[in-house]
Chain A
Amino acid sequence: MKNIYLQLFATFFKIGAFTFGGGWAMISIIEREIVDKHGWIRREEFLDLLAVAQSLPGILAVNIATAIGDKLRGMRGSACATLGCVLPSFLIILAIAIFLTPDMIKNNRIISSIFMGIRPAVVALIVAPVITSAKAAKIGWRTVWIPFIVALMISINIGFISNPILYILLGAVGGWGFWYFSNRSLNHSSK
């Protein structure tokens, strides 16, 4: 069995190297690598980590890597996962900054044609985990309205009512409230 720290670093290096378009675009690669291939965490645990990563400030992709590394092997695991996730973009940007000028990348027809193909595919890579995560979250008739409302309110993109943090707070309060009141009615009925 290979060293887990090395595995974490290598896995997140791969994830960082192929993440185009920010943290959410990582999700399907992370699901495949961390949940399916290595079996390090379960899919619903991954959703919990995503909630934590999104509620805290900072770069989402880095927060996800830190949270998964910590879940597996504490702070040392976090450091390996985070460095792995950051290093590919750090090295690529550094190489560009040292050897090239911005115009050589910006106006490069080959690079921009490759990205014309990658961008629509990345959108599909974010649609797929919507369905797998809905299954993992056991979305049923009683809860299906929640993701619909959240997605709608955030994507209309106006002011604070489109701020994801608002819905994370509401979800937390809602989960707590539902539990509190169902516990209370349970106690009442048992008396």
Chain B
Amino acid sequence: MNIYWQLIWAYIKIGIFGFGGGYAMLSLVEHSVVDPGWISETMFTDIVAISQMTPGPIGINSATYIGYVAPGEVNPQLASPLFGILGSVAATLAVILPSFFLVIYASHFIRKHNESGVIKAIFSGLRPVVVGLIASAAILLMNNANFNPNGRTDQLIINIIISIIAFVLVYFKFPYRGKKINIHPILVIILAGTAGFLIYGI
């Protein structure tokens, strides 16, 4: 079978069976791309590392990268940017499309029955759960990889301070020219990146 169809099929499967997003999907991705010999184990680890250092969902990042290198790995004749970009587009679209249609279908179903008491009741039960889901995402990220990657107490303290300042900036309103304004989360990310560069990069 053509490498492009193989890529599309592999990523459609990842899109359908990848529950829980991001890191929960990684072992499935690893299985689907390392086993057929598209990339090596080391390369896969590299791609995960790069995904952590670039914006965007890790599922998309890995699809784009693996889609680019896979055609050349399988067939040296396809080792050119053009065939690579084709693979990137194929894999990225393939991983998006299943959930794209599932989400649209589910949304339409819910909208159609929106006025029914049952749907309203179900969502009133779901809202407190979603609050818990967001909280669990925050708790799971409070780990060494994010706060203490090198196992040093001084860095841990600096990173906790960065986190607290970021929270204060994004949560509270600040007076500005007679108005109360919120600071945009994107600005907070830019400030935190600048702080990281000034503290750790120089």
Contacts and interface: CB of A to CB of B under 8 A. Distances in A.
Given A70-B103, A131-B171, A86 B96 contact: yes
B65 A120 contact: no
A167 interface: yes
Interface of A: 14, 16-24, 27-29, 32, 36, 44, 47-48, 50-63, 66-67, 70-71, 75, 78-79, 82, 86, 88-90, 92-94, 96-98, 102-103, 105-106, 109-134, 136-139, 143, 146-151, 154-155, 157, 163-165, 167-168, 170-176, 178-180, 183
B129 A150 contact: yes
Contacts of B145: 119
B186 to A, nearest CB: 5
Contact of B167 (A127, A133, A143, A178): A127
B170 A128 contact: yes
Contact of B130 (A54, A61, A94): A54
Given A57-B19, A82-B100, A172-B126, A128 B57 contact: no
B138 interface: yes
Interface string B85-112: 1001000100110111011101110100
A125 B196 CA distance: 16
A22 B22 contact: yes
Interface residues of B, number: 102
Interface of B: 15-23, 25, 43, 46-47, 49-61, 64-65, 68-69, 81, 84-85, 88, 92, 95-96, 98-100, 102-104, 106-108, 110, 117-118, 120-142, 145-147, 149, 155, 159-160, 162-164, 166-167, 170-171, 182, 184-186, 188-189, 191-197, 199-201
Interface residues of A: mostly helix, strand, loop or mixed? Answer: helix
Nearest to A64: B103
Contact of A89 (B20, B56, B199): B56
A123 B142 contact: yes
Contacts of A146: 128-129, 131-132
Contacts of A148: 132
A51 B102 contact: no
B99 A94 contact: no
B196 A115 contact: yes
| Shortest beta-carbon contacts, A-B, top 6 | A175-B125, A117-B196, A89-B56, A58-B99, A150-B132, A113-B201
B192 to A, nearest CB: 3
B163 to A, nearest CB: 4
A48 B87 CA distance: 35
B46 A102 contact: yes
B47 A102 contact: yes
A123 B194 contact: no
A17 B57 contact: no
B146 A125 contact: no
Nearest to B195: A117
Given A51-B126, A89-B55, A127-B167, A117 B200 contact: yes
Contact of A57 (B18, B57, B171): B18
Contacts of B132: 146-151, 154, 167
